Structure 1
Amino acid sequence: MTKLQPEANLSSLDIAGGIEAEPDGVITLDPDLAAIWDRAAPYLKVRDNDAHTLYAFGLAVALLEAHPEADAAVVLPAIMLHDIGWSQVPPAEVLQAIAPGGGRPDLVLLHEKEGARLAAGILADAAYDAGKVPAILDIIDGHDSRREAISVEDAIVKDADKTWRLSPHGIDTVMDWFGLDRGQALRLCSQRVHGHLFTAEAQAMARALSALESVTLWPQRRALPGAE
């Protein structure tokens, strides 16, 4: 579990008054996008896609900071809706679709097509800018199967989606998908992320995440107090 409250105040100091309300790098969810999330969430209760989507959304926001030429009004709804189509794949077959060594490409394509279909309805229901919708749907319909990025917005969505695998939540999730220990999951995710990203910023993020997870597994770190 993520630590949300302190176990102690070792300094005995009260420094809360000096903390900025909105420092650079801390993000919040815009109300319009929160409304899209509310409509998308019921379709994301498959394969831990709900949490995956929120973390990938955060990565996309960070990548947008480095790419002011990209249209955030396309990227952010696309990343929020990109995996809703898995809800239309039989649950027992979802992990078969993405398993290393082949998987089920037909199901990957199905979740993209169904995702675009469902996204069109959600965006219409949310009264989202109709001029942005075609680009959003084009990204969703091909975000996994398409090898090349069709736009900078598509590249950011693809990179945020893949880079999540190397986050702590991504490693935790992949471990349970395939019954892997943490080291195996780290190696699998690293080989499926590095060399497959489009933006230099995502490549740097991914390298940093892999390095941190590697250190977590070092015996020197495991020997320290607080290692689980």
Structure 2
Amino acid sequence: MTKLQPLANHYGSDVSADVPTAPDGVVSLHGRDAAIWEQAAPLLAVRDNDAHTLYAYALAQSFLAAHPEADPAVVGPAILLHDIGWSQVPPDEVLSAISPSGGRPDLVLLHEREGRRLAEGILAGVGYDADRSARILQIIDGHDSRREALDIDDAIVKDADKTWRLSPHGLDTVMDWFGLDRDHALRLCSARVHGHLFTDEARATARALAGLESANLWPQRRALLEP
């Protein structure tokens, strides 16, 4: 659980009035994308895909800041809708699609095709721009199986999706997916992320996340947690 409230105030005074209201780097989910999220969320309640999608969306927003040539109106909906197709795969078969011991490419393709179909209905239902909808659907249908990025929008979606694996939530999730301790999960996710990203921003972020998680495993850090 993410810590949202302090356990103490060692300084002793209230400094909340001195905190900037809109600093660079803090992103949000609102407006057009929030409306799409409301439609997508019920279809994402599979293997923690709902939380994964929110974290991936936040990563995508961060990467967008470095790419003014990218279209946020394509990237945002595409990342929010990219995994809704897993709702059409039997729950007990979902993890077999991405298992370290093999994988089921047929299920990966199925979730992409079904994701495109479901996303088409959602985008039409909210009256989304037709040209952008077509680009969003193209990104969804191939976001995992397609090895190359179609354009910068597709690259950002792919990178945000993969980089999540090295986030604290990503590692927590992968640990429970496959019964791995944190060391094994970090090594598995690193192998599946580094060398498979398209943008410099994602590569730097992935390296930083993996470095921070490495420190969590050092005996020196573990010793600080001992009573």
Give CA deviations for 1:148-202 in whole Å, capped at 9, x if unaligned.
0011100000000000000000000000000000000000000000000011110
**Could you tell me which residue of structure 2 aligns to residue 146 of structure 1?**
146
**Could you tell me which residue of structure 1 aligns to residue 201 of structure 2?**
201
* 1:22 CA drift (Å): 1.2
**Could you tell me which residue of structure 1 aligns to residue 3 of structure 2?**
3
* 1:21 CA drift (Å): 1.3
**Could you tell me which residue of structure 2 aligns to residue 163 of structure 1?**
163
* 1:127 CA drift (Å): 1.2
Separation in structure 2 between the aligned mates of residue 69 and residue 11 of structure 1, nearest angstrom: 44
* TM-score, with length taken from structure 1: 0.98
**Could you tell me which residue of structure 2 aligns to residue 12 of structure 1?**
12
**Could you tell me which residue of structure 2 aligns to residue 172 of structure 1?**
172
1:129 maps to a residue whose letter is D
**Could you tell me which residue of structure 1 aligns to residue 107 of structure 2?**
107
Give CA deviations for 1:102-138 in whole Å, capped at 9, x if unaligned.
2100000000000000000001111112220010000
* TM-score, with length taken from structure 2: 0.98
Separation in structure 1 between the aligned mates of residue 141 and residue 73 of structure 2, nearest angstrom: 17
In structure 2, the gaps of 5 or more residues are none
Separation in structure 2 between the aligned mates of residue 38 and residue 151 of structure 1, nearest angstrom: 27
In structure 1, the gaps of 5 or more residues are none
**Could you tell me which residue of structure 2 aligns to residue 22 of structure 1?**
22
Q: Provide the aligned C-alpha RMSD in A.
A: 1.1
Q: Secondary structure at the match of 1:70?
A: coil
Decide which moves more: 16-25 or 107-116: 16-25
* 1:30 CA drift (Å): 2.1
1:110 maps to a residue whose letter is L
* 1:101 CA drift (Å): 3.5
**Could you tell me which residue of structure 2 aligns to residue 219 of structure 1?**
219
Correspondences of 1:50-89 after superposition (within 5 Å): 50-89=50-89
**Could you tell me which residue of structure 2 aligns to residue 132 of structure 1?**
132
Aligned residues: 227
1:180 maps to a residue whose letter is L
Separation in structure 2 between the aligned mates of residue 147 and residue 198 of structure 1, nearest angstrom: 10
Q: Percent identity?
A: 71
**Could you tell me which residue of structure 2 aligns to residue 181 of structure 1?**
181
